[in-house]
Amino acid sequence: MTTLIEQLRAALGSDQVLIGTEAAGYLTDQHGRLKGRALAVVRPADTAQVAEVVRLCRAHLTPIVPQGGNTGLMGGATPDDSGQAVVLSLARLTRVRAIDTDNDTLTVEAGALLAQVQQAAREAGRLFPLSLGSQGSCTIGGNLSTNAGGTQVLRYGNMRELVLGLEVVTAEGDIWNGLRGLRKDNTGYALRDLYVGSEGTLGIITAATLKLHPLPQTQQTALLAFGCIRNAVAFLSAARAGFGASLTAFELLSDTAVGLIARHVPQQPLPLAPGTPWYALIELSDNEGDDHARQRFEAVVGQAFEDGLVHDAAIAESLQQSQSMWRLRDEALGLAQKRDGGNIKHDVSVPISRIPDFLEATAAALQAQFPGVRPVTFGHLGDGNLHYNVSHAPDGPVATLFAQEDAIHRIVHDSVHAHGGSISAEHGVGQSKRDLLPRYKSAVELELMRRLKAAFDPLGLLNPGKVLSHTASPLLSAPALPAGAADESLS
């Protein structure tokens, strides 16, 4: 009887079945914190080969871990340490299959890099608006499977809102061709929407038909300073009303975050001096010419100055200045946090109107238990998504902070929940947040998720142990916190 490895080699060619040191790069997560083992890493060339791999693995009852660019931050693409699973890399499925400018759609295979898709759209005179710090290495399949967000969700939505159709290999190794370029299709259950965000646990996405948008002709970037978070939230509301659909980004940065950049990345120009509690990097995209965008900008920001909402503002006068402002947010901030010794990260969302209360309550709860720790808060205020990172006290060792990691997560996530938020806004669940779900989701919701998983993947071979655990029944576990309720007994 031939082994699975022999059958995979026969199906894909020996050079596309990696074992030993050749496989090592696929078995560790983005931060190098999670390390798994695998029977093999396979690199199919097309959808038919993906389906064949799934059928072979199924016949051997072997779990499959789909992997795109491996930039996910929740360990979803990393196998466990049993060494039983096959990692299925989509990296060779990179073809743009079609661009239809009359329908404003682009059909692309799952392993194409996000940056390549943005480029292909641009060459066709269109915009594919998903925009992430990892766009040079993450894939469209990974973006779909995590329902990725990024800096332009405020205007264009997250990945679920940018896709019209999917091609998926099911747990049985069948190919579902749902590559429909339709904006209206009410013919039953929305399977596409179930696969999006399912982190490889329901099926393997092999291609997608994506929505394209008009390419904006002018962009206006500015950094604004606010005396308090309530003013920043009030200005967001004024900006939405004043700019309408032209407002494409509203990125918040706390003074602590800007201070870290000033200290650790001194070569990064700061258009406004540190020292004001909050900053926002905003962007307008317009099709009506530079003068129009500038005039609108000055009218809305001018009114906000008069209303006392905005404390200071710097407008980018050139493409270089705009790029430098974005580097502040995209590159310098990440580097500054690393050079500061790292911190405990949270990717959360809260209704925008409750963000000021959330920030005050969470900071107070952290100070009460861990005096001196510093929240380094930034994120996509425009869609309520905060990256709420907790750094060590200036005079406290980093190791002491990390020794308290679970307790700090608990304080932040309980506060998120108490303010009606979500403990994962855009990075997903993977293995890192899996065991937190029963505390923050109701047993009914978890049971429905389990039933879906059982219906789509009855043998439990697709990315097992990600999003949902293998065993624990949510109906038997301790009752979850009611939504919006703080739980004193657990803190």
Binding site for ligand FAD (CB under 6 A): 30, 65-73, 76-77, 90, 110, 132-134, 138-139, 141-143, 145-146, 148-150, 199-200, 204-205, 426-427, 430, 463, 466
> For residue 207, which amino acid is it?
A
User: Residues 6 or more apart from 224 whose CB is under 8 A from it?
Assistant: 235, 279, 280, 282, 301, 310, 311, 312, 313
**Interatomic CA distance for residues 179 and 26, integer angstroms:** 29
Residue (148 or 359) nearer to ligand FAD, CB: 148
Residue 1 in contact with residue 43, Cβ under 8 Å? no
Q: How far is CA 271 from the centre of its chain?
A: 28
**CB 141 to ligand FAD: min, Å:** 2
Residue (231 or 424) nearer to ligand FAD, CB: 424
Residue (90 or 390) nearer to ligand FAD, CB: 90
Residue (130 or 408) nearer to ligand FAD, CB: 130
Nearest to 11 by CA among 44, 60, 57, 39: 44
**CB 29 to ligand FAD: min, Å:** 8
Greatest extent of the chain over all pairs of C-alpha atoms, in Å = 80
C-alpha separations of 87 from 17, 109, 135, 283, 382 in Å: 10, 18, 22, 39, 36
Residue (280 or 300) nearer to ligand FAD, CB: 280
3-state secondary structure string across 450-485: HHHHHHHCCCCCECCCCCCCCCCCCCCCCCCCCCCC
Nearest to 120 by CA among 100, 150, 141: 100
User: Residues 6 or more apart from 80 whose CB is under 8 A from it?
Assistant: 36, 37, 431, 465
Strands of 217-271 (E only): list them: 218-226, 247-254
**CB 65 to ligand FAD: min, Å:** 6
**Minimal CB distance to ligand FAD: which residue?**
142
Q: Where are the alpha helices (DSSP H) in 307-426?
A: 319-327, 333-339, 355-369, 398-403, 405-418
